[in-house]
Amino acid sequence: MFSPVEGAKSQEYLDQPQSVGVGEAKPAIVSGGVWIVTAKIVSQLSQVAMFFVAARLLSPAEFGLFAFVSAIAMLLVVVAEGGWAEFMMKASDEDDCFDQVTTISLFSGCLFTAVGVIATAVFYALTGDEKQSALLALFSCWMLPAALTAAFDGTLVVSGRLRQRAIVRIVGETSGLIAAMVLLHLHAHASALAAAKIVCQLVLLIGSVHATRRLPHLHVTKPVLVEVMAFSRQIVGNRLVVFLGSYSGTLVVGSFLGIADAGFYRAAERIVAVVSELLGEPARSLSWVVFRRAHLQPAPARSVGHAGVRFLLVLFAIAAPMYLGLAQVSEAVVRLVLGEVWIPAASIIPFLCLRQLLLSPGYINEASLSVVGHIRYRLPVTVLNVAVSLVVIVAIARFGLWELAIAQCFTAAFALATCIGLQSKFASVNWLEIARGIILLIVPPSMMMVATVELARQYLFEDWSWRIVLLLQIGAGALAYAAVLMVMIQTSRRLRWLTLE
């Protein structure tokens, strides 16, 4: 339940020059980084656990209702948080800024809470649906603590209290998970998940207030208000682009195909997202280390491009078996983690896996473009890709989940083309060399893995339990892929197929 820009906040703090000595700063930064990573891991694990528990106990229609309404609520939260934390981190007068920004965040939270309550009343008057109205009302109560937490969160970062901040995050996420599990087992309605989000957010707010050890004196001046609003427009604009890219599918499916289909679609997305998060977070972090180091070489442009080729080939070598393997065993995975009722979600997982595989080179865009001073070109391309994806989703969603998932692969191919253009032109990444590496090193072991998994499915399914077959498919496929990949790498080195050494 972290803010969408949590990593950016932490990175910004870690990159700032510290007032303490170098000997003292390095241990503090390393310790803060460890706590940030720990909190992020706990957050991811708690969200995955909450998803699996909810999917097991809720029907697809109820889970889809939660996914649809929470996406709308998240849109309002993105605006309500308004970049208050980031403004705190860039302000020079911390004390006065804290008071004024907290005042603005309080007003923002109250405003969007009121908007949610009014929307709930109108919805209930028009439909008379008590269950959906209760869910909307609960999500309305999320706005105020979320907006206030953002201001206190920025204060913790700028004051260097990363350990306390991480502890607050860990306690908040754990509290939300426990609340969700208890409430789901008590009455198993979608409102339990909304209530759990509020519990998590309240714990985050109370913990942040305790960690900062201060309360604001509420006031605001016109110059600061104007400055904050101008800054907020930039932050909120970037966040909305990210939000539309992440949640547009769920919103459109829920609007055109109904709440149950939105549940199937979100469940399929969440299963694929487990793999994406395992790959994406480390890839983004490591890319900063790799490209910064390459940029310090005597020929930085050439070194960055060379590092990009190597990094992406390694990334594809890791991502290909994970996504292709999940695509092959999607039905068994859905049956194992979600249950029989969710089997319709399995049919779209292979297409979502292909989409994420095509999007994976984008993990290095921020780092590779930043170190060469061309990061300004990233946002317009991102906006273009999101716009194309949104248009396609709106145009195709009405035809069905399967058609939408196929269309998502084409929008991902378009995004890959723009990514290749950015990396080739501004970061000197040789995509012809990457294409050769994929064909020579990654395609052969991938084909062997696919054949091995398929053979295991055909010849073992009738004689063994599907759970045992799943384990054998994963094990045999992984061994086949690793063995052929090692052979291809050794052959490439001997015959000098690629110039990567």
DSSP string computed for 114-170: HHHHHHHHHHHHHH--HHHHHHHHHHHHHHHHHHHHHHHHHHHHHTT-HHHHHHHHH
Verify that 334 and 356 share a domain, yes or no: yes
**pLDDT at residue 151 in the model:** 87
The residue range of the domain holding 95 is: 6-247
Verify that 309 and 457 share a domain, yes or no: yes
Residues of the chain with pLDDT under 70: 1-33, 91-95, 188, 299-302, 460-463, 499-501
Cβ contact 340:310 at 8 Å: no
**256 occurs within a structural domain:** no
Cβ contact 294:303 at 8 Å: yes
**pLDDT at residue 18 in the model:** 40
Given 247, 270, 305, the domain boundary residue is 247
12/158 Cα distance (integer angstroms): 9
275/326 Cα distance (integer angstroms): 9
Verify that 75 and 115 share a domain, yes or no: yes
**pLDDT at residue 296 in the model:** 80
315/313 Cα distance (integer angstroms): 5
The number of distinct structural domains making up the chain is 2
5/241 Cα distance (integer angstroms): 12
**pLDDT at residue 19 in the model:** 40
Verify that 279 and 215 share a domain, yes or no: no
**pLDDT at residue 163 in the model:** 84
Angle, helices 130-158 vs 190-212, to 10°: value is 20
**347 occurs within a structural domain:** yes
Verify that 134 and 268 share a domain, yes or no: no
Verify that 449 and 344 share a domain, yes or no: yes
95/102 Cα distance (integer angstroms): 11
Please report, to the nearest 10 degrees, the dihedral formed by the alpha carbons of residues 461, 462, 464, 467 taken in order: 40
191/180 Cα distance (integer angstroms): 9
**254 occurs within a structural domain:** no
Verify that 138 and 229 share a domain, yes or no: yes
**Of the candidates 424, 433, 428, the residue with the CA atom closest to the CA atom of residue 300:** 428
In angstroms, what CA-CA distances link 427 with 48, 168, 300, 303, 378?
Answer: 35, 39, 10, 10, 12
Q: What is the pTM of this model?
A: 0.76
**pLDDT at residue 92 in the model:** 62
Verify that 242 and 287 share a domain, yes or no: no
In the chain, the amino acid numbered 170 is: I
